[in-house]
Homo-oligomer: A and B are copies of this chain.
Amino acid sequence: MIRVQREDVDIDAVLEAVKSDKSGCVVSFLGTVRDTSEGRSVQRMSIEVYEEMAVKQLSMIREEALERFGVNEVVVVHRYGDLEVGDSIVYIGVSAGHREEAFQACKYVIDELKERVPLWKKEYTGDGEVWVEGDRRE
């Protein structure tokens, strides 16, 4: 399951989608809006997406994770639009028979997402609006 959506993440629903009776565990990554960014206070955030490409890229990353780590299921839900401090940005869930692979695959998905899925954060800080680009603030 890959979703790029404006709505909040329904954690219970995505957990149901990733869990399975043959898996012994689910490792999850939940990204949330921080109240600071490089020392500046953040009031809120908006996220822009190139949706068609983001879905394609996430589907590719999901397939890679399934194949490389032999895990049972991978789900990714990423939000866009306006978000407040504490809101969920992204949920990644991985189910597997063994926890090692689940941890590795979950980390792989978030690492790759941050490199190659077309989503951009704009932070609204005390100093004004700031685009986050890669690891830099512009």
Contacts and interface: CB of A to CB of B under 8 A. Distances in A.
Interface in A34-76: 34-36
B30 A28 contact: yes
Contacts of A11: 11-12, 15
A104 to B, nearest CB: 9
B28 A24 contact: no
A25 B32 CA distance: 6
A102 B24 CA distance: 21
A24 B11 CA distance: 17
A19 B34 contact: no
B27 A31 contact: no
Contacts of A122: none
A25 B21 contact: no
Given A23-B34, A24-B32, A25-B30, 4 more contacts: A11-B15, A19-B86, A26-B28, A29-B103
Interface of A: 11-12, 15, 19, 21-32, 34-36, 85-86, 97, 99, 102-103, 106-107, 110
